[in-house]
Amino acid sequence: MPARPAEDPSRPSSLAAALRGNLGRLALLFAGVLLPLWLFAELADEVHELEELVFDDALLLWLNGLAGPRLDAFFVFLSRIGYAWGVVPFDIALSLALLAWKRWREAAFAIVALAGSALLNLSAKQFFQRDRPSLWESIAPESTFSFPSGHAMGSMTLAAVLVLLCWHTRWRWPMLAAALAFTGLVGLSRLYLGVHYPSDVLAGWAAGLAWVAGSYLVLFRRRRPWRRHRR
Residue 127: pLDDT over 90: yes
- pLDDT tens by residue, 31-57: 889 999 999 999 999 888 877 788 899
The predicted pLDDT at position 195 comes to 95
- Write the Ramachandran bin of 194: left for phi over 0, alpha for psi from -120 to 50, otherwise beta: left
Q: How far apart are CA 147 and CA 129, in angstroms?
A: 7
Over residues 98-111, the pLDDT tens digits come to 999 999 999 999 99
Mean pLDDT of the chain: 88
CB count in 10 Å sphere of residue 116: 15
Supply the pLDDT for residue 35. 94
The domain spans of the chain are 70-231
pLDDT band for position 28 (cuts 50, 70, 90): confident
Using DSSP, state whether 82 is helix, strand or coil.
coil
Tell me whether residue 121 is exposed, middle or buried, using C-beta atoms within 10 angstroms of its C-beta: 0 to 12, 13 to 18, 19 or more: buried
157-212, pLDDT tens digit by residue?
Answer: 999 999 999 998 999 999 999 999 999 999 999 999 999 999 999 999 999 999 99
Confidence (pTM):
0.85
The pLDDT of residue 231 is above 50: no
pLDDT score for 53:
83
What does the CA dihedral 205, 211, 217, 219 come to, rounded to 10 degrees? Answer: -130
State how far the Cα of 157 lies from the Cα of 207, in Å rounded to an integer.
Answer: 9
